[in-house]
Amino acid sequence: MVLWGLVLGALLVAVLGFLSLPGLFRQHRPQEPPLDKGPVPWLGHAMAFRINMVEFLRRMQAKHGDVFTVLLGGQYFTFVMDPLSFGPILKDTQRRLDFIEYAKELVLKVFGYKPLAEDYHMIHSTSTKHLMGGGLEELNEVMLDTLSLVMLGPKGRRPSASGWREDGLFHFCYNTLFKAGYLSLFGRTPDAAQDLLEAEELFVEFRRFDVLFPRFVYSVLWPREWRHVGRLQRLFHKVLSVRHNLQKEGVSRWILDMLQQLQALEVAPAMQDKFNFMMLWASQGNTGPASFWALMFLLKHPDAMRAVKEEATKVLGKASLEATQSFCCDPGVLKHTPVLDSVMEESLRLGASPTLLRAVQVDFNLKMASGEEYLLRRGDKVAIFPYLSVQMDPEIHPEPTKFKYDRFLNPDGSRKVDFRKRGKKIPYYNMPWGAGVSMCPGRHFALSEMKLFILLMVTYFEVEMVDPDAPVPPVDPRRWGFGTTQPSHDVRFRYRLRSAE
């Protein structure tokens, strides 16, 4: 018994010693950014970072300036906070900074998918073909159709549907965008009512996964939650299995094209199921929350709502529905909505907070705009967090915490792209989609579907908050760094179809 105790004790010491190696022995070298190893060996600053990334980075920037290296759970991350210095990182043509290898580890853990070398090119070229340009026009028509199905039901407008309905605004937006996006991309069957039911059930499971997601990524789940995540992963692999999905009609060309390429590369069907899960996550995890922020800001800013409604009337005319009708809207109008474009850009500025990560492949000399140079060490990660460095910078966006619906409009009504810092025009003035090699390939489709949803909401529905004095809820701090943020609590609202005049 005593012997076993000693052996276990020695093992524990060895494991802890091994884990704390990076924290204990790393020394700051000349020309490297300031190094902050935090209070706990190996973990470093992981706890403070996980609890509130924004507060933590603000503290570090105040202490160290625009570049610093911090230890987070055994890995060193160099944060670059000056947006005028992003260029060398985002346009690294010599591939000394890698995005793909790093993303691979995460994708395997979260979706069970083992990426191939060909994936990056395949995803981006297929998205260019089907989620932009001509492919997007086709998909917009499908999206309008599924939004009609989700918002009006399988038989179009029911004569009894004109009463007020109440819901949580976040739940309503996420639920509607998820179901419409899922059915548009992953296909439907001839039984529309059953499709809606299945999509609703899938949304419930998706939200369970979504709620656990940040702590899952940080590997800080309780044992029961690990088992739950495992069950959810298996459920998504099953529901999205290629065998099940290929029986459906109207699976989008985007998904079909990518699956065909995986088949040609002889990827096993079970791995294709996992690929589908990854695409479901990428395509549905952000649009609902982003639409929530847009609609929330419109409800709290009557001048913005008025401007969006005026523009909607201009492009769609005064619309209302007769019994059994579906929405009537030419998605081509989405090209002529500068006010709504500015509203979306402003909502994403306030609501999107991705972290852009690159792995340093070889020692890298980073030249800052100030002229200073820093040596980034091979094996470390470089991180950019545009929410703080760009989107909340008062020099680039005066009064950055305020929603200003026309912030991205020039006085003549055209799109404003001229933003400055230290007198210089800044190329990265809003970065909800990331930038460089990892920029979101679904951004054009994402914008179209969110805009379509908002246009339909302000055109066909009366929408109001249950408590008009309820403030815009704060962001849930646990979600900083994970794409579009979510509110810390939901807000009740009501909506009803406008009656035909």
> What part of residues 354-393 is at the interface with ligand HEM (CB under 6 A)?
354, 356
- Number of shown-chain residues binding ligand HEM (CB under 6 A): 23
Alpha carbon distance 234, 241 (integer Å): 10
Q: Find how far residue 82's CA is from the centre of its chain.
A: 22
User: Closest distance between ligand HEM and the C-beta of residue 18, in Å?
Assistant: 30
Q: Tell which one of 38, 83, 483, 487 touches ligand HEM (CB under 6 A).
A: 483
> What part of residues 124-183 is at the interface with ligand HEM (CB under 6 A)?
131
The partner residues of 71 in beta bridges, in order of sequence, read 76
Q: Tell which one of 123, 143, 312, 396 touches ligand HEM (CB under 6 A).
A: 123
Alpha carbon distance 438, 125 (integer Å): 13
Residues 44 and 387 sit within 8 Å (Cβ to Cβ):
no
Residue 464 — φ and ψ, nearest 5°? -150, 160
Supply 203's token pair. Answer: 């949304």
Taking CB under 6 A as the rule, does residue 288 contact ligand HEM?
Answer: no
Q: Tell which one of 172, 186, 429, 433 touches ligand HEM (CB under 6 A).
A: 433
- HSE-CB at 352 with a 13 A cutoff on CA atoms is 25
Alpha carbon distance 448, 326 (integer Å): 19
Nearer to ligand HEM, 331 or 442 (CB): 442
Taking CB under 6 A as the rule, does residue 484 contact ligand HEM?
Answer: yes
Is the backbone of residue 73 left (phi > 0), alpha (psi -120 to 50) or beta? left
As to burial, measured by CB atoms within 10 angstroms (0-12 exposed, 13-18 middle, 19+ buried), residue 335 is: exposed
Alpha carbon distance 152, 321 (integer Å): 10
Q: Tell which one of 282, 328, 368, 472 touches ligand HEM (CB under 6 A).
A: 282
Taking CB under 6 A as the rule, does residue 446 contact ligand HEM?
Answer: yes
Nearest-CA neighbor of 65 among 106, 97, 35?
Answer: 35
Q: Tell which one of 214, 442, 481, 487 touches ligand HEM (CB under 6 A).
A: 442
Nearer to ligand HEM, 73 or 483 (CB): 483
Taking CB under 6 A as the rule, does residue 240 contact ligand HEM?
Answer: no
User: Closest distance between ligand HEM and the C-beta of residue 407, in Å?
Assistant: 18
Taking CB under 6 A as the rule, does residue 214 contact ligand HEM?
Answer: no
The partner residues of 76 in beta bridges, in order of sequence, read 71
User: Closest distance between ligand HEM and the C-beta of residue 284, in Å?
Assistant: 7
Q: What ranges make up the beta strands (E) of 229-370? A: 356-360, 364-367
Q: Tell which one of 146, 287, 430, 485 touches ligand HEM (CB under 6 A).
A: 287
Binding letters toward ligand HEM, positions 336-355, x by CB under 6 A: ----------------x-x-
**For the chain, what is the largest distance between any 2 Cα atoms, rounded to a whole number of angstroms?**
87
> Given the rule CB under 6 A, which of 73-81, 144-152, 278-286, 408-416 is the region that contacts ligand HEM?
278-286
Q: List contacts with ligand HEM (CB under 6 A).
A: 103, 120, 123, 131, 282-283, 286-287, 290, 352, 354, 356, 432-434, 438, 440-442, 445-446, 483-484
